[in-house]
Structure 1
Amino acid sequence: MYVVTAATADGERAGCLVGFASPCSIHPPRFMAWLSTANHTYRVACRASHLAVHVLRDDQEETAALFGGRTGDDTDKFARVDWRPGEGGAPVLADCRAWLVGEIRERVGGGDHVGFLLAPVEQSPPGPSDPSGAPLLRLGDVTDLTPGHPA
C-alpha cells in the first residue's frame, strides 16, 4: 500500500491511501499511481505539477487509516503527521519506508480511477530507510479499513 500526496500552487494539500501503483518504465524511469475520481486527492492532483508516493511499513496502520479512512474534504491530515514540501510542493511524509516525488507527465483514464504517470525527480536516500527491515504494509493489513470516500 502507498500514500500518495499532492499540493497545488496555492498551497492546497491532499493525500490518500492507494493500492494501485507500480513502476512502469526503466528507460526513462516512470511510475504510475492510480487515484479514484471520487477522492479529494484526485481533485487536488489534477491541479498539481508533482505527486509524492510513499511506501508504508506494516506497523503504520494508523497512518494508513488517516490517509485511507478520512477524507481531506473535512480533515487536515497533514496537521497529524510530520512532513516537508518536496519538489513542486508535494508533501513528503517523514516517517515511511521509502518515497519518491514525480513530475506528472500524463493522466490516463481507467474507469473509476485515473493513472498519473510520474517522472521521478526526487527520492528517499539509497538503501533501506528503515534499518529494522520491517515488512511493508499490504492490502491484507488494511481490509478492515472503511474508506473516507467510496472507490
Structure 2
Amino acid sequence: MNHPTPHTEAIDPKLFRQLLGCFPTGVAIITTRTADGKPVGLTCNSFSSVSLEPPLVLFSLRKASSLLGTFVEADSFAINILSQSQDALSGRFASSKIADKFEGVPWRPGPLGTPLIDACLASFECRLHARHEAGDHDIFIGEVKHMSTGSTDHALVFYKGAYMMLAESLRKLVLEGQLGTVDIDEAYRALYGKLLRLACERATDAEVDAIEAAVDEIEQHQDADALPRRIEATARFFSSITLAGHNEALRLMAQTMTTVLRERMTHVIPMRPRPDVFPLRRKVVHCLRVRDAEGAVGALDQLITMLRKDEGARVDGGAESVPIEN
C-alpha cells in the first residue's frame, strides 16, 4: 500500500538562523598556521565537545570561508575560549576587513606549534582526527593533545545575535533605574521610526501579517492574569517590525531594546490594559500595508506621546505609571 508523502514546508534560512540563536553558545577563536608558518584564525561559536575517550572536539567552517583551504591542509589547530573582556578580539577575528588578525594580539606557539592567544579562559591544541563535508560547511574533528588555562573571568556568551554580557548589563541598568524614560522614548522613536520606513520599502505581505498577528494577540490578552502573554505579544510586535525592516545591524540594536522592554514591563513599571491605544497599532499595520512610511512613523509617535501624557498625569496624581510598551 502506498502512503502519501507528508507535505513539508521549506525551511526559511533567516528564521532558521534566528531560532538557532535561541541556544546560547560560547565564543572561541580557532587558530592554525599556513604552509609558510603564518598564524591565522577566525571567530567561531560552533565549537563542541564530541568524546572523552579519546578526547575529541569539533568546529564547523563555511565552505565559502577564505581560510577553508588552510585548515584543510593543516594537521593541527587550536581552540581558544574567549572571556567577557575579549569581546573586541571576537569582533577582530570575525572581520573580513582586517588582513592580519594577529597584528598587535599577544599569543604564543603551543607544543604543536599552533597559535595560543594569551589571557583566554582555556585553550585546546588538537591534531586533526577527521573532516566531514556537511551541507555548506566542513566539520573538523580534532583530538586534544594539549590543554591550558588562563583567565578566571566569565565566558563570552553569544545569544540571539548579541553578547549575553551586554544583555545582562542592560538588565542591571533597567532594574536599577539608570535608563531614563526620556532617553528610552527617543531611542524607540529613532530606531523603530527607521525600521518602519525600511519596512514600508522591503516588507513582504507575510511579514506585515506577522506584525498584525502580534497586535491581535496584544488586544486579546488584556486580563490581569494575562500580563506575561501581553508582554510577549508586545515584544513580538516590535521584533516583527524589526524583521520586516531587513537590516541586520538595526536588528541587533533592536534586540537590545527588546531586552530593555521586557525588563521594564516585567519588573519596573506596573502594567494595565490600554484599549484606547489599540487604534494606533492598527494604524501602523495599515500604513505598512499601503506603504505609507510617514503615516506609520506618525502612528508610532502618537502611541508614545499618548502613553507618556497618561503616565505624567497618573504620576502627578500619585498613581501607577504606564510604560510605552503597554
Question: TM-score surpassing 0.5?
Answer: yes
**Cα offset for 1:96?**
0.8
Query: Residue 130 of structure 1 aligns to which amino acid in structure 2?
Result: S
Aligned to 1:10: 36
- Bigger radius of gyration among the two: 2
- State the identity %: 26
- SS of the residue corresponding to residue 67 of structure 2 reads helix
Aligned pair in 2 of structure 1 residues 70, 96: CA closer, same or farther (>3 Å)? Answer: farther
1:68 equivalent to 2:87? Answer no
Runs of 4 or more, structure 1, over 3 Å off, are: none
Aligned to 1:147: none
Query: Residue 67 of structure 2 aligns to which amino acid in structure 1?
Result: T
**Cα offset for 1:110?**
1.4
Which of 7-16 and 135-144 deviates more?
Answer: 135-144
**Cα offset for 1:80?**
2.2
> Is the Cα–Cα contact under 8 Å of residues 17 and 68 in structure 1 kept in the other structure?
yes
**Cα offset for 1:9?**
3.9
Tell me the matched-pair count. Answer: 137
- SS of the residue corresponding to residue 40 of structure 2 reads strand
**Cα offset for 1:27?**
0.8
1:115 equivalent to 2:139? Answer yes
CA distance in 2, matches of 1:93, 1:48: 18
Aligned pair in 2 of structure 1 residues 87, 8: CA closer, same or farther (>3 Å)? Answer: farther
**Cα offset for 1:85?**
1.6
Q: CA RMSD in A?
A: 1.9
Aligned to 2:154: 135
> Is the Cα–Cα contact under 8 Å of residues 12 and 44 in structure 1 kept in the other structure?
no
**Cα offset for 1:43?**
2.0
TM-score by length of 1: 0.82
Name which of 124, 142, 161 aligns with 1:100: 124
CA distance in 1, matches of 2:67, 2:40: 5
CA distance in 2, matches of 1:59, 1:52: 20
1:34 equivalent to 2:34? Answer no
- SS of the residue corresponding to residue 80 of structure 2 reads strand
Higher strand share: 1
Which segments of 5 or more consecutive residues in structure 1 lack a partner in the other structure? 145-151
CA distance in 1, matches of 2:157, 2:72: 27
Aligned to 2:74: 48
Which segments of 5 or more consecutive residues in structure 2 lack a partner in the other structure? 1-26, 165-247, 250-326
